[in-house]
Amino acid sequence: MGRFITLRLLQAIPVILAVVTVTFFLVRVAPGGPFDSEKAVQPEVKAALERQYRLDLPLVQQYAAYLGDLAQGDLGPSFKYPGRSVNELIAAGLPVTAELGLYALLVAVLIGGSAGIFASLKPNTAQDYLPMAAAMIGICMPTFLLGPLLVLVFGIHLEWLPVSGWGDIPGDKLLPSITLGAAYAAYIARLSRAGMLEVLNQDYIRTARAKGLPEWQVVVKHALRGGMIPVVAFLGPAFAGLLAGSFVVETIFQIPGLGRFYVQAAFNRDYTMILGTTVFLSTLIVLFNLASDILAAWLNPRLRHQFGGER
């Protein structure tokens, strides 16, 4: 297992380096700059700012300097928030974004897992078709459409839930969590259904039923652990995707998370903020993928034996 983790971490280094390189040069070739604004800036002031942020250096030297800072964990200063570093801005917005992602993941697992298990018990019947049809709708409906629909129905017409904010009014976390977790609930429903169907057709499940065990014991005690392995393997990438994809939801519901800084950085050409957030989220995706692979291997005896037997 230790060798497996080491190899995966070594494989992650070129991936993150590629993300840094592509993002660095893409933001540089984009039109405009961090000090371009409607109000003209004095040439000497602009030159001083560029010298302060090393934008006067050749592009290759800027790239090498950024890699040197990145190796020390320094994501650089923000161009649009004087006196604040990208590390500080990420630390300020990450807790809210992580909380939103966690709630959305809970919504996805509870709704999607329950729907998939329910559908797998009677395949090719109405009990199967209805949850899977709803899952397909959830996959096809983007968050920028689902969010306003939920706001319109539950916030404006019914007036049951608040439509903006985070932690200020009771119930203001419910609509954002459902909006963000709906698509992932649909994926989990399909994964859990497929995994459960495969396990429920195994010989040891037939043996358990032949012994006269109640169906709920067969499902919960014997089938659930193996049937949910595809879902467990999906949880790591899902949580990373929820963190990286929360920007639209945070904008719709006015949530003060990391997405606010990232969206503003894109409009303001805040190079270091764009780079820092992209690198940070890419690293999270790699780490969560690794964590989900390890957990899936632990749940699967064959994979656990394979990794445990490595020398």
Instruction: Give the pTM.
Output: 0.78
For the stretch 155-192, what's the b/e string if a residue is b when 16 or more beta carbons lie within 10 angstroms of its beta carbon?
beeeeebbbeebeeeeebbbbbbbbbbbbbbbbbbbbb
Structure tokens at 116: 């998939």
- Which residues does 217 contact at the CB level (< 8 Å), separation at least 6? 208
62-67 long-range contacts (CB < 8 A, ≥24 apart) are 62/28, 63/21, 63/24, 63/25, 66/20, 66/24, 66/275, 67/20
Residue 35, classified by CB atoms within 10 Å of its CB into exposed (0-12), middle (13-18) or buried (19+), is middle
pLDDT tens track, the chain, 311 positions: 667 677 777 877 888 889 889 988 888 887 776 766 656 667 777 778 778 778 778 888 888 988 888 888 888 888 887 778 889 988 888 899 989 999 999 999 999 989 988 888 888 888 888 988 988 888 888 888 888 899 999 988 888 888 887 877 878 889 999 999 988 998 999 999 988 888 888 888 788 878 887 877 888 877 877 788 888 878 878 888 888 778 888 888 888 888 877 888 887 788 888 888 888 888 888 888 777 777 766 666 565 555 554 44
